[in-house]
Amino acid sequence: MTARVLGWDFPPNRVNDLERGLLATAKELGVPDTPDAIINWLSNISWNAKELDILSTHLTIGETYFFREKPGLDVFQKQVIPEIIKERRGKDQYLRIWCAGCCTGEEPYTLAIILKEMIPDINNWKITILATDINRNFLKKAQSGVYGQWSFRETSQDIKSKYFTMAAGRNWEINQEIKKMITFSLLNLADDLYPSALTNTQNHDVVFCRNVLMYFTPEQIKLVAKRFNQSLVENGCLITSVVELNDHYFSDFATCSFGEGIYYRKSGRRTEVGNSDPLTKLVSKSRSAKTASPRSKTKPVATLPARLATIPIDAALSKKPLLGTLELKKLFEKGQYHQCVGHCQLLLSNTPSDVEVLNILVKSYANMGNLAEAKRWGEILLSMDGAKADSYYLLATVLMEENMPAKAESLLKRGLYLNPHHLLSHFLMGSIATRENKSKIAAKHFQNVIELLSSFHENDIVPGSEGLTAGRIKEIVASLHSL
């Protein structure tokens, strides 16, 4: 059971922990403390979101500290980040980092401090550091940013005095400028909610997942590895701890080394999630099956609709018959984004203001991780007469990938003006407000989402949501709302 729903393996030497965790969960859920009641509870339990949530707070291991395991941090600081910065400096200055299994926050804060130390013009960069964990109590501590001495066992005095201030009870609090670089969020890695725009888990440059998968079953490690692969841009890197390195599990990645560190890099091959769950298939089909290289130099094609006629069309493509919108959508659903881009350009050279084609073009660029082109075409799309709330939402998701919540919010407001019932716009507004600690605004938008979902059955797929069911979106709202 724990393997399926939480990913974890419980070898014989940890069975006592499992028993303790289950008993504590039963107690918290109000199950009477008698063997019969507990056996009855265990045989009938469905492991809904609330039950899993409680179980995870009792079973997860919260061992972590700042600047843990130098080899992995060196890979990040001396190899991976300099490479990306060199490539994007002066062009599209953004970085997307996901720290999965972030525990009480020491690891993502360490990454933020490293970036602050190494990028002199950091304010000119849009930096996303998403930090997720399954244990909401850990996340609450992470959000408070207050730590005791033990968390600093590998931290130099210089760094400590530069980025922390003394707090009550011999504790230290992380400075605001570092704190605000991180977005904490609840996410179960054994769940199929990633990669997805809704959980902001797509198009990452680096995924850090250290000392988490060592507790997972081999089957779950393989599934998580595939999903991480899909959550990364081409050439993106996965950094695990040394003990978790295992090429067998990470066979979709190229194994690389730097100094004493070994890490995984997403290579050109496409991966499929080997899971029969239809939801997983839908999610992977719509947004994550990337086939193209976002860091490859895609030729800029136009800046304004008026210039559409001058798009340089691929010669081979221009000889092919024009696709209809339905065929174009099928191509998109198959994840053939490069081809989609070519066909969209061809179609747009005939009908420059075709909103549907523009929509597919923006989504294709976004799914290729080419956010600059996605943004540029998104703006063109919004300048068209037929642009709807969907188009505003689409561009807002692209802006969120570049960590531009204020701009995303203003687009969402414009979209909601056109269609006050646009469910996904309310969802994203609620997520942005949660992240900015504006709980009243978040509550209002999430309330709208729940109301709009009432016209769906639990298992209905919500349009535009990358294959998520109404029931699933309710669960995400509940978890965001209670953080």
User: 138-157 mask for ligand SAM (x: CB under 6 A)?
Assistant: x-------------------
Interaction between residue 445 and ligand SAM (CB under 6 A):
no
Interaction between residue 60 and ligand SAM (CB under 6 A):
yes
Residue closer to ligand SAM (CB basis): 99 or 308 = 99
User: Least distance to ligand SAM from the beta carbon of 418, Å?
Assistant: 37
Residue 233 exposed, middle or buried by CB count within 10 Å (0-12, 13-18, 19+):
buried
Please say whether the beta carbons of 6 and 134 come within 8 A: yes
Q: Which stretch binds ligand SAM (CB under 6 A): 146-154, 208-216, 253-261, 288-296?
A: 208-216
Maximum C-alpha span of the chain? 77
Residue closer to ligand SAM (CB basis): 128 or 425 = 128
Interaction between residue 397 and ligand SAM (CB under 6 A):
no
Q: Which stretch binds ligand SAM (CB under 6 A): 116-124, 188-196, 416-424, 466-474?
A: 188-196
Interaction between residue 199 and ligand SAM (CB under 6 A):
no
Residue closer to ligand SAM (CB basis): 151 or 465 = 151
Tokens read off for 387? 């642009």
Which helix (H) or strand (E) segment is 367 a member of?
A: helix 355-367
Candidate list 151, 188, 280, 349; residue touching ligand SAM; CB under 6 A = 188
Residue in the block written with tokens 């501590």: 141
User: Least distance to ligand SAM from the beta carbon of 131, Å?
Assistant: 9
Give the CB-side neighbour count of residue 85, counting CA atoms within 13 A.
16
In angstroms, rounded to a whole number, what is the distance separating the alpha carbons of residues 256 and 276? Answer: 31
Separation in Å, CA 83 to CA 22, 69, 205: 46, 21, 11
Interaction between residue 61 and ligand SAM (CB under 6 A):
yes
User: Least distance to ligand SAM from the beta carbon of 6, Å?
Assistant: 5
Interaction between residue 190 and ligand SAM (CB under 6 A):
yes
In angstroms, rounded to a whole number, what is the distance separating the alpha carbons of residues 158 and 196? Answer: 39
Residue closer to ligand SAM (CB basis): 101 or 145 = 101
Peptide bond into 108 cis (omega under 30): no
In angstroms, rounded to a whole number, what is the distance separating the alpha carbons of residues 179 and 183? Answer: 9
Residue in the block written with tokens 């904490």: 184
Q: Which stretch binds ligand SAM (CB under 6 A): 62-70, 338-346, 407-415, 432-440?
A: 62-70
Short-list 226, 214, 282, CA closest to 252: 226
User: 87 to 116, contacts with ligand SAM by CB under 6 A?
Assistant: 101-103, 107
Q: What is the DSSP letter of 31?
A: -
Q: Which stretch binds ligand SAM (CB under 6 A): 57-65, 159-167, 175-183, 329-337?
A: 57-65
Tokens read off for 69? 């395991």
Cα-Cα-Cα-Cα dihedral sign, residues 356, 357, 362, 367: positive
Interaction between residue 476 and ligand SAM (CB under 6 A):
no
Q: Which residues pair with 255 in a beta bridge?
A: 264
Residue closer to ligand SAM (CB basis): 210 or 445 = 210
Question: Given the rule CB under 6 A, which residues bind ligand SAM?
Answer: 6-7, 60-64, 68, 101-103, 107, 133-135, 138, 188-190, 210-212
